[in-house]
């Protein structure tokens, strides 16, 4: 089991949702985050105050999957989020120690398998 | 030099009301900015609002330079002359038959031109570049609004033919609505249109904007009698009655369709009701005004439901809310105008079928001119400069790309740039504690 974390552009979030759905990955959560990943800073001016915005809005997907689903999830994130320009985001894959589905008490593989899957 | 001697025909009560009415109409443009800003995604909030402020800037200047003259100088039946260009001869002396200073008449009419330009922006928000919009706003206010205002108000051929338009069904409502359709077709759909749900980001802005628009509309319709006389009182009261009926019918339509009454639907209903009564305000009885308000909901509701199923991204439904509702109001006069209430003319129901013909003439001519002229104008501007932002810019949002600002900036991660242009390395945030 792995936790796949994908950090993507907010305007690609809907595309990622679609590619994940097509890859039959049905369980995930998203968070709005701010981050910096080497893209050019935006300069903004508010009356006399000029600032370089060092942080860009991103959306963070967290997807807990069983091993056979790791690569399809990564592919789906890449397909949905890629524009080819700096700032497309990153994917981190980390091992998962335990997973519990609260409703049933199922653990591990049973818990990351979609209901009815 | 203007004459400072008091003019006998100036009526102080009329003048006082028209000063207030002008200010009320001016308020409608920022109110529209709020209404529109709430309807777009958060990354386009400022750009959308700024298009309305741009109308206050550019349309006002264009109006003073030539727009007013094109609309209200005698000229010929199609277009006014240039005798009032640069506001020549516009001073304290009232126009013929008027009881308010000419200067005030010009300012009141300017406020109509401004809001109309702002209305059209609703068709192209979230993707049109700001520069080309400024050019468009200036030219459109003269070539489309000015000409239509001349036809309906400035002694042009529609007015001569006997078309009744109390407060701008021709130039403002049909003018903006059918221009919006043309603008949406020329500029093209947003890149995500039809692929993703593009939702309003702040429904409360929409409701507050609609409320302020209704408030301003009392000056818009109530001022269009240019006096404190009966027609103004009638139009003012009808501006309360008609939108209320539109709201009630809209609630019912919402209930029938989805079993829930929606807030953004209600805000839209207020606009539709105010638009519907705009051309008819001073010409029909309060009872017929209530029927007009109720009836106007139907065609506009239908267009609002059907339009998003097409490929036409007329983003904020200016056609449905203004073009269609304005057309409904213009035609309604042909049936229900009542000499005993307006002192001007009867409609079909009161024995004068020819009035309906004169109204139908306007309902064909105004949309045709607005659509055609706007289509052509934007095509020509498009030859000189790209009208829309790139897909990448659209994705980032027009606020950051066009204005270098965000509506909801947090300041986190913002690095101050000192006046000599160097980023201050030691100060990591905009507001160090």
Q: Which H helix or E strand runs over B88?
A: none
Q: Is the pLDDT of residue B430 over 50?
A: no
The mean pLDDT value for B413-433 works out to: 60
In this predicted model, what pLDDT tens digit does every residue of B35-65 receive, in sequence order? 999 999 999 999 999 999 999 999 999 999 9
Q: Give the least confident one: A75-84, B143-152, B190-199.
A: B190-199
Query: Is the CB of residue A107 less than 8 Å away from at least one CB of chain B?
Result: no
Q: What is the nearest CA distance from A71 to chain B, expressed in angstroms?
A: 26
For A47, name the nearest residue in chain B, comparing CA atoms only: B405
Q: Would you state the pLDDT for residue A26?
A: 86
Query: What is the band of B148 on the pLDDT scale with cuts at 50, 70, 90?
Result: very high
Report percent pLDDT > 90 for chain B: 91
Per-residue confidence (pLDDT) for residue B423, from 0 to 100:
55
Q: What does the alpha-carbon distance between residue B95 and residue B99 come to, in Å, rounded to a whole number?
A: 8
Check residue B38 and give its pLDDT: 98
- Predicted confidence (pLDDT) per residue in B1-43, tens digit: 777 777 889 999 999 999 999 999 999 999 999 999 999 999 9
Picking from B250, B255, B217, the residue whose alpha carbon sits closest to that of residue B235 is B217
DSSP letters for B105-161: HHHHHHHHHHHHHHHHGGGTTTTB-HHHHHHHHHHHIIIIIIHHHHHHTSS-HHHHH
Interface of B with A in 48-77 (CB under 8 A): none
Q: CB contact, 8 Å: B380 with chain A?
A: no
- Tell me chain B's radius of gyration from C-alpha atoms: 22
B253-280 mean pLDDT: 97
The rounded distance, in Å, linking the Cα atoms of B276 and B279 is: 7
**pLDDT value at residue B144:** 98
Instruction: Look at residue B422 and tell me whether its pLDDT is greater than 70.
Output: no
Q: Lowest-confidence range among A83-87, B36-40, B122-126, B214-218? A: A83-87
In SS3 terms, B279-308 reads as: HHCCCCCHHHHHHHHHHHHHHHHHHHHHHH
**Cβ-based contacts of A43 with chain B (< 8 Å):** 404, 417
Q: What band does A47 get if pLDDT is binned at 50, 70 and 90?
A: confident
B423: left (phi over 0), alpha (psi -120 to 50) or beta: beta
Residue B336 has pLDDT above 70, yes or no: yes
Does B334 score more than 70 pLDDT? yes
Tens digit of pLDDT for each residue in B215-256?
A: 999 999 999 999 999 999 999 999 999 999 999 999 999 999
B406 vs A36, A44, A50: nearest CB: A44
Q: Which residue has the higher pLDDT, B142 or A45?
A: B142
In this predicted model, which residue has the larger pLDDT, A54 or B68? B68
Name every chain A residue with its beta carbon within 8 A of the beta carbon of B415: 41, 51-54
Any residues with CB less than 8 A from the CB of A97 and at least 6 apart, and which?
none
Among B100-114, B277-291, B364-378, B401-415, the least confident range: B401-415
Please name the residue of chain A whose CA is at the shortest distance from the CA of residue B403. Answer: A44
Burial of A84 (0-12, 13-18, 19+ CB in 10 A): exposed
Task: Please report which confidence band the pLDDT of residue A64 belongs to, taking 50, 70 and 90 as the band edges.
Answer: very high
pLDDT digits (tens, 9 = 90+) for B170-214: 999 999 999 999 999 999 999 999 888 899 999 999 999 999 999
What totals of helices (H) and strands (E) does chain A contain, helices first?
Answer: 3, 6
Fold of B14-392: Ammonium transporter fold (1.10.3430)
Closest CA to B413 of B393, B431, B395: B431
Question: Which residues of chain B neighbour A33 with C-beta distances below 8 Å?
Answer: none
Going from N- to C-terminal start, the domains of chain A cover 2-112
Query: Would the pLDDT of A39 be above 90?
Result: no
H/E element holding B172?
A: none
Confidence of residue B421 (pLDDT cuts 50, 70, 90): low
Under 8 Å between Cβ of B321 and B272: yes
Q: What is the mean pLDDT of residues B362-377?
A: 98
pLDDT band at B429 (very low <50, low <70, confident <90, very high): very low
Helices (H), B63-101: 68-72
Q: Give the contacts of B7 (CB within 8 A, at least 6 positions apart).
A: B92, B93, B94, B101
Instruction: Check whether B432 has a pLDDT greater than 50.
Output: no
What's the mean per-residue pLDDT of chain A? 90
* pLDDT of A116 higher than 70: no
Asked if residue A32 has pLDDT above 50, the reply is yes
For position B263, what pLDDT does the model report?
97
pLDDT value at position B428? Answer: 46
User: What does the pLDDT read at residue B302?
Assistant: 97
Q: Return d(Cα B337, Cα B424) in angstroms, integer.
A: 69
On average, the pLDDT of chain B sits at 95
- Smallest Cβ distance to A49: which of B196, B400, B430? B430
Q: Calculate mean pLDDT across residues B132-161.
A: 97
| A46 contacts on B by Cβ (under 8 Å) | 405, 409
The pLDDT of residue B433 is 36
Q: Please give the residue of chain B at the shortest CA–CA distance from A16.
A: B196
Helices (H), B40-67: 45-54, 60-62
Residue B431 scores a pLDDT above 60? no
Residue closest to B198 by CA, chosen among B43, B393, B40, B48 = B40
- Per-residue pLDDT band for A42 (boundaries 50, 70, 90) equals confident
Smallest Cα distance from B261 to chain A, Å: 28
Residue spans of the domains in chain B: they are 14-392
pLDDT above 70: percentage of residues in chain B: 96
The architecture (CATH level 2) of A2-112 comes to 2-Layer Sandwich (3.30)
Answer whether residue A46 shows pLDDT above 50: yes
On whether any CB of chain A is under 8 Å from the CB of B424, the answer is no
């Amino acid at each position: 089991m792995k936790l796949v974390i994908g950090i993507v552009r907010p305007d690609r979030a809907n595309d990622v949702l679609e590619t994940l759905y097509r890859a039959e990955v049905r369980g995930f959560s998203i968070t709005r985050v701010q981050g910096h990943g080497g893209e050019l800073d935006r300069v903004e001016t508010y009356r006399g105050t000029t600032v370089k915005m060092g942080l860009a809005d991103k959306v963070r997907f967290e997807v807990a999957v069983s091993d056979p689903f790791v690569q399809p999830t990564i592919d789906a994130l890449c397909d949905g989020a890629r524009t080819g320009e700096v700032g497309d985001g990153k994917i981190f894959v980390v091992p998962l120690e335990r997973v519990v589905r609260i409703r049933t008490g199922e653990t591990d593989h049973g818990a990351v398998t979609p209901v009815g899957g | 030099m203007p004459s400072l001697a008091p003019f006998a025909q100036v009526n102080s009560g009329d003048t006082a009301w028209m000063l207030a009415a002008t200010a009320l109409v001016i308020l409608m443009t920022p109110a529209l900015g709020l209404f529109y800003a709430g309807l777009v995604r958060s990354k386009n909030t400022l750009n959308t609002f700024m298009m309305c402020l741009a109308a206050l800037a550019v349309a006002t200047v264009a109006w003073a330079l030539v727009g007013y003259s094109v609309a209200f100088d005698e000229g010929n039946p199609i277009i006014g002359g240039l005798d009032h260009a640069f506001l020549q001869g516009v001073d304290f002396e009232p126009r013929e038959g008027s009881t308010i200073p000419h200067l005030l008449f010009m300012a009141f009419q300017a406020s109509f031109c401004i809001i109309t330009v702002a209305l059209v922006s609703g068709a192209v928000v979230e993707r049109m570049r700001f520069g080309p919009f400024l050019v468009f706003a200036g030219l459109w206010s003269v070539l489309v609004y000015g000409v239509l205002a001349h036809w309906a108000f400035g002694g042009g051929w529609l007015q001569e033919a006997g078309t009744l338009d109390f407060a701008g069904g021709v130039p403002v409502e049909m003018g903006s609505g059918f221009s919006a359709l043309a603008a949406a077709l020329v500029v093209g759909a947003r890149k995500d249109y039809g692929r993703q749900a593009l939702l309003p980001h702040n429904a409360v802005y929409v409701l507050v904007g609609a409320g302020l628009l209704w408030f301003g509309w009392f000056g818009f319709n109530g001022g269009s009698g240019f006096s404190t006389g009966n027609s103004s009182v009638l139009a003012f009261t009808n501006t309360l009655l008609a939108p209320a009926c539109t709201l009630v019918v809209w609630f019912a339509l919402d209930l029938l369709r989805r079993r829930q009454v929606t807030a953004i639907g209600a805000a839209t209903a207020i606009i539709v009701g105010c638009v519907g009564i705009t051309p008819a305000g001073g010409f029909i009885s309060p009872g017929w005004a209530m029927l007009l308000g109720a009836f106007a909901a139907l065609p506009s509701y239908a267009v609002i439901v059907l339009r998003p199923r097409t490929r036409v991204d007329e983003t904020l439904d200016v056609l449905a809310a203004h073009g269609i509702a304005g057309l409904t109001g213009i035609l309604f006069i042909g049936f229900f105008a009542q000499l005993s209430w307006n002192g001007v003319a009867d409609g079909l129901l009161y024995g004068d079928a020819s009035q309906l013909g004169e109204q139908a003439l306007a309902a064909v001519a105004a949309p045709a001119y607005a659509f055609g002229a706007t289509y052509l104008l934007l095509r020509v501007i498009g030859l000189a400069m790209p009208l829309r932002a790139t897909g990448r810019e659209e994705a980032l949002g027009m606020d950051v790309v066009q204005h270098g600002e965000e509506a909801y900036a947090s300041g986190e991660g913002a690095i101050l740039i000192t006046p000599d242009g160097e980023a201050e390395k030691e100060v990591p945030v905009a507001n160090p504690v």
